[in-house]
A and B are shown apart, each in its own frame.
With several copies, the nearest count.
Chain A
Amino acid sequence: DTVSIRLDWAYGSEHAPIFLAIKKGFFADEGIEVKLMPGEGSSVTAKLVGNRDADFGYATADQILIAAQRGLPLLTTAVILQQNATALIFPKDKPIKDLKKDLAGKTVGVQLKSTTKLQWDKVKGDQKLDATTFKEVPADLAIVPLLSAGRIDAGIGYFFNDGLKARAAGMDVDWILFEDLGVKIYSTALFTNSEFAQKNPDLVRRFTRAFVKGWIYAKAHEPEALAAFIEANPETDKVYAKMKLPEVLRLTESEDVSKTTMGHSTPEGWNSLQETLLQMGVLPQKIDVGTIYTNDYLK
């Protein structure tokens, strides 16, 4: 069988375990030939899978939930990144310790093209920040250069993308994780079209199994995963790739996963995500989270 999977963004070492799984033949072992495709943001990936233009997708859980609420038949089969990677990133020489005080007079870069902006809105609400004391500017895909050019004093982004890239570029930056500011939500997950899953339960099971196996194996053999990724993407920035992979692998951990298995998720986790999204205002109404995820395919 040929199965297509669309990732969230362009290939990076955060996808190394997937390349590793392909290289080690985990998919081949299940009789599956994988058609791997890069993405253009999680929202697009969610739409594409909902429209059956790809069999599987790898995108953030919030987008999966939003898309499902908007009527797309999506089913999450494994929540890979259990922790929220969003962070407030800033240079160490202009440190932010207390959000309330230290943000005053600063310029914060936000990414309109992702839900990180919405998470930031929630943080502002939760922490009762006075948005008039600092300035927000759009900074899609440019947090690091803007920080580097001094155009912004802080930026909202994934710590393993923008944060580590800044470090790889020789900047001394630090960050505050949103996870630590109370935005505990699932991050990137493997999902499929539920109609597709209904028709091909066995194929979905085999694919999910091979996919998760890649992550488990990568966690144990990090250098091997890195090597597999670099082999497939020789033009990549190797320093940055090496820095990023362990951080990403660490995000697969959670209390729940340590008790069960890689990729596992709980009703509490999904409900908390839904709660957060409701508060963020991107979700008009609640849905039954039970319909959009399952642990069944994790064996």
Chain B
Amino acid sequence: MYRLSVTLGQFLVFVVFFAIWELLVDLLHIRPVILPAPTAIAEKIWENRALLLKESWPTFAAISLGFIAAVVSGFLLAVGIAYSRIVRDLTYPFLIAAQILPKIAFAPLFLIWFGFGLTPKIVIAALIAFFPIVINTAKGLTSVDKELLQYMDSLGSSGWEKFTKISLPWALPYIFAALKISITLAIVGAVVGEFVAAGEGLGYVINSSNITLNTELMFAAIVTMSVLGILMYLAIVLLERYMLPQGQLEDSGHSTM
């Protein structure tokens, strides 16, 4: 019952949003270069469906590879930070510096350093998506109940066991929060990468249609991009539902009938 009305509610908000948009464009005679109407965008999407689908693939590849690279490396670094004070103290300043560097400013240089095609896109996506993984995972790993670890110590368990049986499950909610943030950042990264360093992909379509002031096509590509992104985000949500047992999901807790 509740689920159904929520879905309806979400749908309604969507419809109202687009209706207002359409009306505003119509009533205020806003030119398509400034803001195209939703119907015009929809039309453009339908017209260019083959193109948009085709261009989605390289973008998808860049996002997923960049994301995976960020997750793997970020996770490993977080483990280092959580378990070794030296690693933490020696990497933190550089980590932060690296995160603060406006990577977008480097994008043209990336082109020169990493060549064309997939590589620079993946690098940018990974670089942008990396930081939240490190911060959140390290936080999760260090917030473990100390007595639980002591209990494992009393069993003479190995560090590896403590890690897999206690710390990792404990940190999972933190990690999933990070994954959700990072996937969206990987998307931004891949798009930026495609702005500067690619002749294909949705980012390229967005950029080139922006330059040629083909605003409808730009919006069409942005919409496709968003749909792609939402699908990837949902994949993570599903993974979370699957991996986090009942005891750890947000909406669990004491429940009376």
Contact = CB atoms under 8 A, between A and B. Distances in A.
On whether A and B touch (CB less than 8 Å), the answer reads: yes
Interface stretch (B173-181, B197-205, B247-255): B197-205
Given A46-B213, A47-B34, A170-B31, A141 B196 contact: yes
Instruction: Sort chain B's interface into a size bin.
Output: 20 to 34
Nearest to A135: B116
A11 interface: yes
Given A112-B199, A142-B111, A67 B116 contact: no
B17 to A, nearest CB: 22
B108 A70 contact: no
B197, B210, B213, B214 — most chain A CB neighbours (10 Å): B213
A48 interface: yes
A12 interface: yes
B224 interface: no
Interface of B is mostly: helix
B204 A145 contact: no
Contacts of B195: 40, 113, 140
A41 B31 contact: no
Contact of B213 (A38, A151, A165): A165
B255 to A, nearest CB: 53
Interface majority SS on A: helix, strand, loop or mixed?
Answer: loop
Interface residues of A, number: 52
Contact of B214 (A115, A117, A118, A236): A236
A44 B111 contact: yes
A237 B112 contact: no
Interface in A43-69: 43-44, 46-48, 50-51, 53, 63, 66-67
A169 interface: yes
Contacts of A50: 31, 33-34
B207 interface: yes
Given A10-B207, A40-B195, A67-B33, A146 B214 contact: no
Contact of A53 (B116, B196, B209, B212): B116
A240 B212 contact: yes
Given A51-B34, A145-B109, A41 B48 contact: no
Given A53-B115, A137-B199, A235-B217, A169 B108 contact: no
Contacts of B32: 70-71, 169
A137 B116 contact: yes
A142 B212 contact: no
A149 B217 contact: no
B208 interface: yes
13 contacts: A40-B108, A40-B196, A50-B33, A110-B199, A136-B199, A138-B199, A142-B112, A144-B213, A148-B34, A165-B213, A169-B32, A235-B48, A240-B212
